[in-house]
A and B are shown apart, each in its own frame.
Chain A
Amino acid sequence: MSATTDDLPQPIAHRSERARERAIRKAENASLSDTKRRLSSTGATIAAVVIAVIWTVPTFGLFITSFRQPADINTSGWWTFLSNPDLTLSNYTNTLQFTDTITVAQSFVNSLVIVIPATIFPIALALLAAYAFAWVNFRGKNILFIAVFSLQVVPIQVALVPLLSLFSNGVTIGNWAVFPGLNLNGVEGSFARIWIAHTIFALPLAIFLLHNFIAALPNDIMEAARIDGASHGQTFFRIVLPLARPAIASFAILQFLWVWNDLLVATIFTSGSNFPITKLLTDLAGTYGQTWYLLSAGTFLAIIVPLIVFFALQRYFVRGLLAGATKG
C-alpha cells in the first residue's frame, strides 16, 4: 500500500517544476541513445501492437454487430460486414423501446437517477470526515482511521443480506421491535435503498482518498488560517474545499463509473420498475441470449456513458486509480 500516498497528486506547486525537469532530462536522454533504444524495441512495439489488437477486437466485433441488420447478424460473422455493408441504426431505436420489465430507455434513466445522488452523497459525507481525520486532533484517531480503511476490502457480499433486512424489517432485539425499517418494500419507483447502500459502500474509499489528499495540504497554509482566526468551518470551506478539487474530481469519477457499472448492489436493492441498465442487460442476456441485435445495441447503450466519462476525464480517472488502488 505504500504506493498509495506517494502516488497521490501533490497539491503543491512543485509538481509542474519537477515535470519540466524530467522532460528536459528525458529529451537529453532521447538524443543520446534514441537510435539504440528504438532498434532494440522494434520487437517490443510489435508485441505491444499485437496485444492491443487482441484487446480491442472483441469490443470492435460487438460494436460492428450493433449496426448490422438483425437477419445478417445471425447468419454471417461480423468480419464479413465489408462484403455486405448493410448498416443500420434501427437496432438502437428498437432496443431503446424493448420491454422486459421496463423499457431499456427507462432503465437508462434509472441508472442516471441512481448514479448522480450516489456519487454526491458519499463525497459530501466523506469530505467532512476526511477533514476531521486530517486536521482535528482527537484521541483514538489512528485506530478509527485504520478501522475505516480496513472496511474497504470487506466484500460487500457480506453486508448485503443484513443491510437489506435492516431496510425491510428494521431493528428487532429479541421479540421486541424497535425500529420499523424503511418500509419501502412495496413502494414502486423508490431509489432510497440503493442510494443509501451505494453511499455506505463508497464511504471507506472516499474517506481514505480524500483524507490522504487533504492531509497532504501544506501545514503553513492551515497554520496561517488558524492564526488569522479562521474556524474549522471557515478553513474547511475557504481553503480545503477549493484545494481538494482534483481529489474530489478523481473520486467522483471512480464512484460514478463504479455505480453506473454495478450489478450486484442493484440486484439486491432495486426491483422491477427501477432496475438500472446493467441489471436489465443481464436479464436480457439470460432470456434472449441469442438475440444479438438487442444485446449488442444494449451493451453499447450501457457503456456509452462510462466511455464518455472515461475519454473526457481520463486524467482524473487515472489519478484516482493511482491514489486508491483498493476499491471493492
Chain B
Amino acid sequence: MTAFFTWLAGLPPLAQIPVVLLVFGIVIALVVFFIEFAPRSGRKYTIMRLLVAIGVPAVLVLMLGVYNDAIWLVPLAAVLGAGLFLLDLRARGGKGSLLQLIAFMAPAVILLAVGLFYPLVKTLIAAFFSNDGSTFVGLNNFVQVLSNQGLQAVGNQVLWVIVTPILATVIGLAYAVFIDRSHGERVLKVLVFMPVAISFVGASIIFKFFYDYQQGNQIGLLNQIVIWFGGTPVNWLQSFPLNNALLIVILIWTQTGFAMVLLSAAIKGIPDDQIEAAELDGANAFQRFRNVTVPGIRPTIIVTWITIAIVSLKVYDIIAATTQGQNGTSVISYQMVRLFQNLPPQTGTSSAEALLLFILILPFLIYNTNNIRKQRLGL
C-alpha cells in the first residue's frame, strides 16, 4: 500500500484524482461483487466464500505491510477468517448472510474503529502520561493546562460556547420571523445564509479587514465608523478582553445563516390555522410569536442551539487565521493543536486539552444520544 501511495504521490496532482478514484472503484466493485454472490447456494459459491473468508483478511494484513517479526499475523488472520466462514454456515439469515453483512459494514466500521474510536481511547490514556509517553503523571497535565495562561483559554472557550449559540440562534430566529412571507424573502435569506458556505478562514480575513487598524488613514470600516462618530481608532484585535468578543462575532456571523435556515423551515411547518386562530383571538404579532411560533418550533431551536454550541467548541480556524492566540484570545481547541505542533510535541498536555474539550462536549453527546435512542426504540 505504501508503495502504491508513494508511486501515486509522484504523479502530477490533478492526475492523482482519476487514478485513486479508479483504484477505489475497483475495490468497491469487488466488495459489491462479493455481496452479490455471497448468499447463493451451491458448492461453487461455498468454495468461493471460503476463499474470500480466508484470503481477504490475510491479504489485508500483508498489504498493511506487516513487519517480519509479526508475519504470523497473516495465518492468524486467515484462521480468523475461516472461523467467520464456519460461523456463517450456521447464520440465522442462511448461509452467506453473515459474510454478506460483514462486506456491507466492515469497510466503514473498521475505518471508524481505527480512525475515531482507537484515537479517542489513545488520547484518553495519553492525557495521564508525560509528554514523551514514558511515565504516568496522574492529573499533572490537567493541573498544568488549568494553571498559567491555560485557564484563560478554558475561560475563553466557555465564553465562545455560551455566547455564540445564544446570539446566533436569537438573531437567526428574529431574522427568520422578520422575513417570513415578506417581499424578497429569497434574496434576504441568501444574503444572510451566504456566510455558511464561506470557510472560517475566509470569514476571518473578511473580518480582519473590517477590524483593521493603522496609523493615519483608516482602511478598516469599523474604525472609520468610530471616526465618523468622533472617536479615536482602536487596535481592536489587540485590546483585551474586547478582542474575544470581536472574534466571537466572526463565528456568529457564519452561524446565524445556518440557524435562520433551520428555524425558517420550522416556522413554515407551523399550521396556518394555528396562527389564524391566534389572530382571531386578537393576539398581536408579538403574542402570536411567543405563544404559537416559539412553542411550535422548540425542538428545532434546541437542535440549532446544540449544533452551534458544538461548532463553537471545536473552533480552531478563526483563531489560527486572526490572532493566533495572542493577546489573551486563545481557546482550548486551538491551544491543543499548537501544543502538539511544538517541537518536541507536548503530547501529554495536548491530549489533556483534547480530553477537556471532550468533557465539555459530553453533555451534548449524552443529550443527542438519548434522543436518538428514544427515536430508534420508538420506531
Contacts and interface: CB of A to CB of B under 8 A. Distances in A.
Interface of A: 1-5, 7, 25-26, 29-30, 33, 37, 40-41, 44-45, 47-49, 51-52, 55-59, 61-62, 65, 73-79, 106, 109-110, 112-113, 116-117, 120-121, 124-126, 128-129, 131-132, 136-138, 142, 144-146, 148-163, 166, 176-180, 182-184, 187-192, 195-197, 199-201, 203-204, 207, 231-234, 236-237, 257, 260-264, 267-268, 274, 278, 281-282, 285-286, 289, 292, 295-296, 298-299, 302-303, 306-307, 309-310, 314, 317-318, 321-322, 325-328
Nearest to B65: A180
For chain B, what secondary structure do more than half of its interface residues adopt (helix, strand, loop), or is it mixed?
helix
Contacts of A292: 209, 212, 219
A106 B28 CA distance: 31
A54 B82 CA distance: 65
B337 A157 contact: yes
Contacts, number: 404
A261 B175 contact: no
Contact of B2 (A52, A149, A182, A234): A182
A317 B196 CA distance: 10
Contact of B197 (A120, A199, A309): A309
22 contacts: A2-B375, A65-B209, A77-B221, A124-B24, A154-B358, A161-B126, A176-B70, A177-B69, A178-B66, A184-B2, A187-B9, A203-B112, A232-B100, A232-B104, A261-B198, A263-B321, A278-B202, A281-B201, A289-B208, A296-B209, A298-B205, A326-B306
A150 B364 CA distance: 10
Interface residues of B, number: 138
Contacts of A233: 32, 35-36
A168 to B, nearest CB: 12
B303 A189 contact: no
Contacts of A306: 197-199
For chain A, what secondary structure do more than half of its interface residues adopt (helix, strand, loop), or is it mixed?
helix
B188 A52 contact: yes
Interface in B199-251: 199-202, 204-210, 212, 214, 217-221, 224
A39 to B, nearest CB: 10
Of listed B109, B197, B353, residue having the most chain A CB within 10 A? B197
